[in-house]
Amino acid sequence: MKRIITFVMIFALCIGMVIPTAAKADSVVDEKLGVPVVVYGANLSDAEKESVRKSLKVEQDGEYEEIIVDGKDLVKYITDGNDKARMYSSAKITRQDKGKGLVISIVTPDHITQVTSEMYATAMLTAGIEDAIVEVAAPKAVTGESALIGIYKAYEVSGETLDTERTDVANDELNLATRFSKNLDIDQDKVAELLTEIKKTIAENKPATKEEVEKIVNDQLKKLNIELSDADRQLLIDLMDRIRNLDIDFSKLSDQLSDMASKIKDKIGEIDPGFWEKVKQFFADLAESVKSWFN
């Protein structure tokens, strides 16, 4: 009996080692940065809105501000936006102190079908959002682009001001990212890595001409082994040249882009190739030990 109890205790310990525990949300009100802002897509039904509230754990946060994002907000942040667009994806944004960076979490991954957390992050940096915790949710399958508009509105409600020229470019960046991943069947993480690496190189090298931007784009496409048509390649060059011409402090942005590039590389597989073999061997050894207890 003692052996069985010992086995159960060891098994529970192993599960604790392998499965990370969720950190409890901090419910302390930040009197300097304000309470979290939750923004809902205007076309959510009452039931869908409640579903989103549960996904974003709004009730657990204690104090928060709730707002709605609609077509009028879309045309505010995006040139030639459609004010009749239907908006479902929603978000919660919590500002952080400067230097903390971006933490993006898609809490309903099965319902955000086109946009990854890395795509949101790289677009937000282009738009000028640098220090925040952002959670994205939707009650049903949607592409996810409208959540970015909600993030913009929530960020401004929390006390910041965004340059609409930058938000427009950031939206075009997100649209191009989803176009590459959907229509060209390029892995979403690979697309995010491409955009991040190009912007990181622009931040480091400070190209003075569009021709220099074109060289950076072509070098990164070659480096990441991504094939684009001439038309799509030109779209990417044009977008990155627009980013080059924005009034962005690239020296400040460079560190965040470097950190993001590192995270993306870790996510898509630059991990010690022997790690999972070690895990496998650990449990094999454990199984053999347990078997010996009953012999």
DSSP 35: -
Query: Six-digit token pair at 251?
Result: 């020296």
154 vs 281, higher pLDDT:
154
For the stretch 223-262, pLDDT in tens is 999 999 999 999 999 999 999 998 776 655 555 555 655 5
Query: Six-digit token pair at 108?
Result: 């309903």
Q: Is the pLDDT of residue 5 over 50?
A: no
Please check whether residue 123 is in contact with residue 256, taking contact to mean a CB–CB distance below 8 angstroms. no
For the stretch 98-115, pLDDT in tens is 888 889 999 999 999 888
Q: Write down the pLDDT at residue 139.
A: 95
Give the residue among 69, 13, 6, 12 at the shortest CA–CA distance from 37: 69
Q: Write down the pLDDT at residue 219.
A: 96
Query: Six-digit token pair at 41?
Result: 């897509």
DSSP 112: B
Q: For residue 72, which amino acid is it?
A: K
